[in-house]
Chains A and B, each alone.
Chain A
Amino acid sequence: MNLRSDDHSLVVVVGAGGVGKTTLAASLGLMSARYGRDTLVMTFDPSLRLMDALGVGEHARDREVTVAAGTQGHLAASLLDAKQTFDRLVRRYAPDEAAANRILTNRFYEHLAANLAGILEYMAVERLFEVAAEGRYDRVVLDTPPTRHALDFLGAPSRIVGFLDSGALKLALRQWFDEKGRLKPAAHLGVLGRGVEGFLDRMVGMDLLREMAEFFQAFGPLFAGFRERAENVQALLKSPKTTFALVTAPGEERVPETLFFARHLVEGGYHLGPLVVNMVHPRASADLLARPDFGDGAHLLSWLGERDDRGVAAFRRLLERGQTLVDVPLLAQEPTDLPSLEALGRLVTDQLEGAPA
């Protein structure tokens, strides 16, 4: 990954929760704009200070706001909001306003839109597609939602499309409900069909199934659009113009999970960019330990330096040929303004530019 070049129009920053993805995404976006590329940073719930640093607050929710960074390229930031993106998609792809309102007021949709597992990830991808289609930026840096495991980001869109897919649920519900959501006579279903129906009624009640049938009925015309875009987004994510920056913390217990994800990305046909080992404690000198006035703290700090050293070494050993490792030291404090974000960004880009291509 080289932010000076035009090689990558999409940088996806992935990793487990708490490893510093959002701050890194912002600093990479800033560097990209510094290098003259019009850049959009898309993020979820950054810290207040990071929002201040970028100069974007709540008003950037679901919209792009220019960051006054004085960069050669234009820098914009946007906060993603899953529910609003979902609502907007329904409005856009519904055949008419009445159809859109039928969906938006359906009780099942209300629960679904806010609570569907992986909805944030899916809507990030949807929003990404909207932005990519508009083509107003040379580069988009996408921060991904805080999941425990980086893998969740890639899996979520297909899970949701699977859930929404008319092929399965609509056809299944059609066995029991007619076009108007009325329960059909069960005569044609046979013994097994009646058994399944009885089971579902006992388990969840026919009322819920009726609401679901209505929802999927109303959603029907939208499916083609959803599926097509899901396929386009998959193609975009697997394009050679897209690179994944995989972020991890340095502890050795992180190694198996991180390398598992790296392999999964490569095997899935995605383009893995740098592995960023973030928040690395620097090594202490022997002198530090010898100072009695430093107390237990010196012992802890030198242990942390050794632990992180071990972790980085383990990552390096297990890296596949051709992959780049960037180690970013733990900063004395989190970046709170544009200069400190840029300083962090430079720590990354200097290593990237020094690395073989």
Chain B
Amino acid sequence: MGLFEHLASRQLIVVTGKGGVGKTVITAVIGSLLADLGRRVLLLEVDPRESLHQVFDVPPSGGEIVRITAPVQDRDGAAPWSLSLQNLQPRQVIEALVRQHLHIELLTRRVMASPVFQHFIEGAPGLKELAVLSEAERVVRPRGKGRSAHAAFDVVVLDAPATGHGVSLLAAPHLVAEVIERGPIGAQARALTALVADPQRTGIVVVTRAEEMPAHETLELREALEEQVGRTPELLVVNALYPPFPTAAIEGSPDDRFLIDLWRRRREGNERELAQLATAWQGSRLELPMLPADRGLRLLAALRHEMLAQLDQAA
């Protein structure tokens, strides 16, 4: 469990990877495993169309923080995991920031209603990304003084946008800090640049599948992160592997010929890409099987089980 305890000490864990590889489910699995360790976890989703709730079989949250506790049948450990999730709209964060700095309601409304402001927050490079990271940082920042200082959460696990956009998210603070040197936004951008650059505080997890395009993008993503953010991801999760093909030559009924060929060759493809990733990816790696369950608590429980088994093995 060494690797996970290592991740558990972070304030922010960013989960990224190519579209369609299972980032959202893996975000939930990681969050629930951190909750097992007693961390107070907030799962943040930034996609305007919610899907994180599907993993927990709960209705969409509509932007509110929702608290979720493990259902009775999944309480495998001594203490059942419990965590919070939220679908975050960057606009809300930006508007709250404006409100906080303007104080006067009339001015606030005037600024927000102006087309300049609207176009600016829609189009300005890095601003929305900065807002998301600001919110993540805000909820793990201790409030109060001395021994009574207390943060709302210990760790935020962020279901980040797909590859290219994921890099943009992590690179945004630096980008904004370069353009905006002054004022609270400049200061915030500098603080977040430091947060993202610090491997003690921010962990990066990349999710992929052992297929040509996702694997290729994963290695590109790693390079882009090193180049633009100066960071190496902590963990690679290779998701949805086809099951090993039986070693004995098998012949099913003629009806299944296509399917059996598909299984054999998809698995061969998986193994080829796994071998390539094993050489090219320095660092921790977990491999998860494709499982016969729709997105929901049953899949979550099965993946938790798989991940724990591998972490035990690695330890």
Q: Which residues of A contact B (CB under 8 A)?
A: 16-19, 47-49, 107-108, 111-112, 114-118, 146-149, 159-160, 162-165, 167-169, 172, 192, 195-196, 199, 201-205, 207-208, 249, 251-253, 257, 281-285, 287-288, 291, 293-297, 299-301, 303-305, 307, 329-334
Contacts and interface: CB of A to CB of B under 8 A. Distances in A.
Contacts of A333: 265-266, 269
Interface stretch (B28-36, B121-129, B280-288, B303-311): B121-129
A252 B126 CA distance: 34
Say whether chain B's binding surface is mostly helix, strand, loop, or mixed. Answer: helix
Interface in B257-294: 258-266, 269, 290-292, 294
B246 interface: yes
A61 B280 CA distance: 26
A146 B19 contact: yes
A207 B163 CA distance: 32
B49 A257 contact: yes
Contacts of B64: none
A195 B295 contact: no
B258 A282 contact: yes
Nearest to A172: B116
B146 interface: no
Contacts of A160: 123
B262 A148 contact: no
Contacts of A169: 116, 119-120
Q: What are the 6 tightest A-B residue pairs by CB atom distance, in nearest-first order?
A: A17-B19, A18-B20, A163-B123, A115-B125, A205-B182, A303-B292
Given A192-B110, A205-B180, A288 B294 contact: no
Interface string B186-225: 1000000000000000000000000111101000000000
Chain B interface size band reads: 35 or more
A18 B184 contact: no
Contacts of B262: 281-282, 330-332
Contacts of B76: none
Contacts of A114: 125
Interface-centre pick from A18, A296, A330 (highest chain B CB count, 10 A) = A18
Interface stretch (B81-89, B101-109, B131-139): B101-109
Contacts of B102: 199
Contacts of A202: 101, 183-184
A117 B131 CA distance: 14
Given A287-B255, A295-B246, 5 more contacts: A159-B122, A159-B123, A167-B115, A252-B294, A331-B262
A199 B253 contact: no
A168 B182 contact: no
* Residue among B54, B213, B216, B262 facing the most chain A CB atoms (10 A cut-off): B213
Given A19-B20, A117-B128, A291-B252, A253 B51 contact: yes
B297 interface: no
A329 B261 CA distance: 13
A19 B123 CA distance: 27
Contacts of A203: 101, 183-185
Contacts, number: 185
B59 interface: no
Given A111-B179, A196-B111, A49 B290 contact: no
Contacts of B19: 16-18, 146-148
A91 to B, nearest CB: 22
Contacts of A172: 114-116
B243 interface: yes
Given A195-B107, A203-B101, A294-B246, A208 B180 contact: yes
Nearest to B178: A111
B175 interface: yes
A30 B231 CA distance: 41
Contacts of B258: 282, 329, 332
Nearest to B46: A148
A18 B242 CA distance: 17
A289 to B, nearest CB: 10
B74 interface: no
11 contacts: A48-B216, A148-B165, A159-B122, A192-B110, A204-B183, A205-B181, A208-B180, A257-B49, A287-B255, A288-B253, A294-B252
B18 interface: yes
B122 A162 contact: yes
B18 A18 contact: yes
